[in-house]
Amino acid sequence: MKVYGPPWGKPIFSVDIHPDGTKFATGGQGEDSGKVMIWNMAPVLREDDEKNENIPKMLCQMDNHLACVNCVRWSNNGLYLASGGDDKLVMVWKRAAFIGPSTVFGSSSKLANVEQWRCVTILRNHTGDVMDVAWSPHDVWLASCSVDNTIVIWNARKFPEMVTWLRGHTGLVKGLTWDPVGKYIASQADDHSLRVWRTVDWQMEANITKPFSECGGTTHVLRLSWSPDGQYLVSAHAMNNSGPTAQIVERDGWKTNMDFVGHRKAVTVVKFNPKIFKKKQKNGSAPKPGCPYCCCAVGSKDRSLSVWLTSLKRPLVVIHDLFDKSIMDISWTLTGLGMLVCSMDGTVAYLDFSLDELGDPLNEEEKNSIHQNIYGKSLAITSTEAQLSTTIIENPEMLKYQQERQNSAQANLGPGSAGPESSAPKLNSVMNGESLEDIRKNLLKKQVETRTADGRRRITPLCIAQLDTGYGNTSLLLTSASKIEPMKALDSRFTERSKATPGVTAAISSIAGLTISALKDIKTKDDTSSDSEDKMASINKNLSFSKRKPETLMDGGEVVEKRKKGRPRKDKMAAPIAQPFTQPSRVAAPPAPPAALKLPTPSIKKAFSLQVSMEPAVFLEVENEVSLVAGSKLSQLRCSRDGRDWNTLLPSSVVTAAGSSSSLCLHRFDVVAVACQDRMLSVFSSCGRRLLPAIQLPTPVSALHCTAHFVMALTAGATLSVWDVQKQKALVKNESLLTILSGADTTVSQSLLTQQGVPVIGLSNGKSYCFSSSLETWTLIADKGDSLVQCADFRSCLPTQDALVSPGPLAVMQGRNLNAGRLASRLSSTPHHLQQSMTMAFLENQLASALTLQSAQEYRYWLLIYARFLVNEGSEYRLRELCKELLGPVHKSAATAWEPTTLGLRKRELLREVLPVIVENLRFQRLFTEYQDQLELLRNK
């Protein structure tokens, strides 16, 4: 054991060893500010290095904190250092992008900073001293706690974004620890409580007060710790029979039956060794299946340190009088054999243990298998990436994928994330090859100097380097769920606008985006149908506004365009727009329909208009009973498309109309359909040519849709028909909805027709069905009450690229309730395998639904999520079956029924996309190799 005292002699409040073990950080009081220092580990470990003057002891010091630094913590990846201090700030530091040592300007200190660490983010939110900070496993979050009684969770991938506050403590929060499997975070405060919070919904899981009720005197910190196997949480200062203890809290039921006793004063800090140990095998003796145990260091105000093994009843070692003042922090090396302890007295001690003393550390695989046994695979696997990376890669293709992955990961992290050699990144030069020296020679002449309005000199400084403080574009897995949000926007398209007079309609069309967004805003505020007046008022307000100020309109238009990013293509949106009569409120509200007519019908209006699409701008205008010729009333249908109009006359009043419009498709086959009072359905081409003779519907129409060259009619008699106008064939023939309309009050709340001509019906009971013409039956594609949807937790399998988020009919029908994993929190006590099965079932449902809906993009999207889930969960059989299905027979034979494509997607192409996913788990490298080889074989054929 060696003692190492930093020279400034002021209290050291925190110490933390870098994950790579080459350096450590201390935090504490500086001269007039807080001080963070980074030290070289080598001189601490080896005496020779200590004596060698060429080896720097101090690497960097940062005076930026205005007041005492209470906590320093390295991120798990070692790229960042977080510090929290009495100045209420949390600072995040990163190795900076300059080359070579430097000193602080104006400082007389000869100690140059060997490494440059620069504050990249200041996290301001606490209103009191920050006492502790902690990075979550995998550095997804950073938590900080403060004397303002709160804990703040920061989004560590998008600083300074805040995820949430954890409120509830009624006293100063002085310690934080994350559960090693990432399910919980625990905090200890002066309010005599230890609280455990769930990371799923950030609600409190447990509030443990009993062991702390006697706690009197305050300690500066209460650094609690979670055991590496996740089974135990050990508190700082607790009391048992008037004696200070460190309370052991069991994960199972948060029981508090055991504690570490023996310190004479309050325990300030507890720190578990990151390793799990097993009994050292004696030479020659037969290996005994000993139970693995953990090792825990406890530091106290009584200036002594005790080290415990959970397998022993007594401490392994107790060291008294190591310091002159209270112990403030403890940090283990990742190897588990070294420990740094710091004290108020301004010194840091290094303790060295041998394997004989602690036992044999389990390797990561063994540790992982313990995690797997306790928590299941999905939680465990995420904690073993480091270990997997050391697995031998057998296949060069696999290696390539791995390297590509690493490269892209590094690209995301930006410069400075590479290995130690390249970790002094290049100056982000903007000087076009000119050397700094050249610039400096002419700077005075070259610099831009202007005069301000009041005659003052103003110099534009020459930017010689941009900050490389970017965190890269690593998108957060957890927020990608919100990308599904835009789907909700579609719901607002089911909006009645028929009150508008034709003149106004035209105007609306020109600012369609604007009005739609306005409607959407109103809709979210108040979703009842009674405020349609307000909606119109709002539209008109927008209208009159835009008429007066066209430039404002442009602005508005731009804004709307921006907001629309990530939403589905306009032509796809056209379908829902095209049918203004399926507004949910309308259907829910109508007067009781006659018994024979199950579904409501739109009322007949004198005139109405609707917009089929925005681009190209297509409008339909209907004017009923427009002229009297020989006593018969004629109705006029007018269509305007990109300024070209056509119109036609119909012998009966038009009840509803619909049109399809595709802007991209070259061979477009757009249709317009109208249903009349006499139950006649007429279909016209986009130029107004009648395509089919009038179709007689069995009952009055309830809803009408056109998508591409498909026309769907839902009748009041609850029957559904779909025609393919191009092929002049019926896809669905008078199919009754009675099978799905079970229950007296159930009615149709939504209907749509996909681009592939698959009809989808959403019911008021939350279920959505589509009619599969190949199976000739109704199939359930979404159920809002489905507990699988709400319990499935596949967030970790979501793709990170925006492009992969796929809009489509499935998402439209599920959009609102696809907050998968929402209820998962309530099931936090659910055994892992149960949730795993639910997620699997849910994902398989999604795949099947996408397949029935013939929604290729969605199928591909869910397939990749499903594959990733199988990979994460290690479900080899399913994965293998999936690959087998995608690959198909390698050798052609007549007997095979294997189709090379599904929904127009080539299955083998899909397999090529799935393979990189498989690579993510090295366990499956054999599987990967097998299918990679077969794909190659097929390609060469």
Residues at the contact surface with another protein, assessed by CB under 8 A: 31-33, 63-66, 87, 89, 91, 102-110, 119, 122, 440, 443-444, 447, 449, 452, 456-467, 469
Q: Are strands 729-736 and 719-724 parallel, antiparallel or unpaired?
A: antiparallel
- Please answer whether residues 923 and 394 qualify as being in contact, where contact means their C-beta atoms are separated by less than 8 angstroms: no
Distance separating alpha carbons of residues 597 and 699, to the nearest angstrom: 8
Distance of closest approach, residue 411 Cβ to another protein, in angstroms: 21
Distance of CA 43 to the CA centre of its chain: 42
Q: How many CB atoms lie within 10 A of CB 263?
A: 25
916: cis peptide before it, omega within 30°?
no
Nearest CB to another protein, comparing residues 460 and 801: 460
Nearest CB to another protein, comparing residues 38 and 398: 38
Nearest CB to another protein, comparing residues 459 and 628: 459
Distance of closest approach, residue 70 Cβ to another protein, in angstroms: 16
744-747-753-758 Cα dihedral, nearest 10 degrees: -10
Distance separating alpha carbons of residues 327 and 74, to the nearest angstrom: 20
Distance separating alpha carbons of residues 842 and 790, to the nearest angstrom: 9
Q: Are strands 710-715 and 719-724 parallel, antiparallel or unpaired?
A: antiparallel
Nearest CB to another protein, comparing residues 119 and 851: 119
Q: What kind and span of H or E run contains 645? A: strand 644-650
Distance separating alpha carbons of residues 658 and 838, to the nearest angstrom: 40
Distance separating alpha carbons of residues 804 and 857, to the nearest angstrom: 9
3-state secondary structure of 608: strand
Nearest CB to another protein, comparing residues 443 and 687: 443
Distance of CA 42 to the CA centre of its chain: 40
Distance of closest approach, residue 30 Cβ to another protein, in angstroms: 8
Distance of closest approach, residue 311 Cβ to another protein, in angstroms: 46
Q: Can you say whether residue 917 is alpha, beta or left, with left for phi > 0 and alpha for psi between -120 and 50 degrees?
A: alpha
Tell me the H-state helices in 717-808.
Answer: 787-791
Nearest CB to another protein, comparing residues 123 and 731: 123
Distance separating alpha carbons of residues 607 and 587, to the nearest angstrom: 21
Nearest CB to another protein, comparing residues 87 and 623: 87
Distance of closest approach, residue 16 Cβ to another protein, in angstroms: 20
Nearest CB to another protein, comparing residues 105 and 877: 105
Distance of closest approach, residue 906 Cβ to another protein, in angstroms: 47
160: cis peptide before it, omega within 30°?
yes
Nearest CB to another protein, comparing residues 87 and 345: 87
Nearest CB to another protein, comparing residues 119 and 152: 119
Distance of closest approach, residue 116 Cβ to another protein, in angstroms: 11
Nearest CB to another protein, comparing residues 89 and 691: 89
Structure tokens at 851: 């397949």
Nearest CB to another protein, comparing residues 289 and 461: 461
Nearest CB to another protein, comparing residues 465 and 738: 465
Distance of closest approach, residue 670 Cβ to another protein, in angstroms: 49
Exposure string of 113-122, with b = 16+ CB inside 10 Å and e = fewer, is bbbbbbbbbe
Distance separating alpha carbons of residues 893 and 109, to the nearest angstrom: 81
Distance of closest approach, residue 151 Cβ to another protein, in angstroms: 22
Distance of closest approach, residue 122 Cβ to another protein, in angstroms: 6
Structure tokens at 940: 């060469």
Distance separating alpha carbons of residues 338 and 613, to the nearest angstrom: 68
Task: Give the CA diameter of the chain.
Answer: 115
**Tally of residues, the chain:** 941
Distance of closest approach, residue 448 Cβ to another protein, in angstroms: 9
DSSP string, 370-419: HHHHHH-HHHHHGGGHHHHTTSPP--HHHHHHHHHHHHHHHHHH-TT-S-
Distance of closest approach, residue 94 Cβ to another protein, in angstroms: 12
Distance separating alpha carbons of residues 52 and 25, to the nearest angstrom: 21
Distance of closest approach, residue 99 Cβ to another protein, in angstroms: 13
